[in-house]
Amino acid sequence: MTILYVLVPLAIGIVLIAVAGFVWATHRGQFDDLETPALRMLRDEPANRPPPEIGKRPGTEAD
């Protein structure tokens, strides 16, 4: 059972990595808004959508 003297610190090391990952994700704002990403659904975008036609772009012309 002396293997425990290696395995337990190893397990704690893995936990440390997981915690570090969680802290990193939190600071990146991954948990700030849990509602919108669900709505930002995985929709297939048309692969090569034509760029918007020049001169017809709305919002840019003066009112």
Partner 1 sequence: MSTSVAELPGAPPRCAHCSLPVPEFEVDRAREHQFCCPGCRTAYDVISAAGLVGYYTFGERRQTAVSSTARDYAEFDHPAFQTLYVRRAPDGLATTELYLDGVHCASCVWLVEKVPLAVPGAVSAELNVPRSLARLAWDPARTSLSAIARFLDRLGYPPHPFRGAAIDQRRQAEDRAMLVRIGIAGALAINVMTVALALYAGWFGTMEASYIRYFRWVSLALTVPSVLGPGRIFFRSAWAAIRARRLHMDIPIALALGAGFLRGAMNTWTDTGPIYFDGVVTLIFLLLAGRFLQQRAQRAAADSAELLHSLTPSTARLIADGAIREVPVEALVPNQMVLVRAGDPIPVDGVIHDGESTLDCSVLTGESRPVSVRAGDTVYAGTINQRASLTVRTVETGETSRLGRILQELEAGMQRRAPVVRTADRLAGWFIGVVLALAMVTWLVWQRVDPAAALDNAIALLIVTCPCALALATPLTMTVAIGRAARRGILIRGADALEVLSQPAELVLDKTGTITEGSLGLISWTGPAELQAAVVSLERHSSHPIARAFETAWADIDPVEAEQVQPVMGGCLTGVVGGRLITIGSPRYVLAVASDPQDLAGTLADHLTPVLVAVDGVVACAAGFGDPVRAGARDAVKALEARGWRASILSGDVPSVVQAAAVAVGIPADRARGSATPEDKLVAVERRLADGQTVVMVGDGVNDAPAIGRASVGIGVRGGAEACLAAADVFLARPGLDPLVELVDGARRTMRVIRRNIGISIGYNLIGAALAVTGLINPLLAAIMMPVSSLTVILISWRSRTFEATR
Q: Which residues bind partner 1 (CB under 8 A)?
A: 1, 4-5, 8, 11-12, 15, 18-19, 22-23, 26-27, 29, 31-33, 35-36, 39-41, 43, 45-46, 49-53, 56-60, 62-63
* Residue 1 beta carbon to partner 1: minimum distance, rounded to whole angstroms: 7
CA angle 15, 34, 26 (to 5 degrees): 35
The secondary structure element, H or E, covering residue 4 is: helix 4-27
The secondary structure element, H or E, covering residue 18 is: helix 4-27
* Residue 5 beta carbon to partner 1: minimum distance, rounded to whole angstroms: 7
* Residue 13 beta carbon to partner 1: minimum distance, rounded to whole angstroms: 11
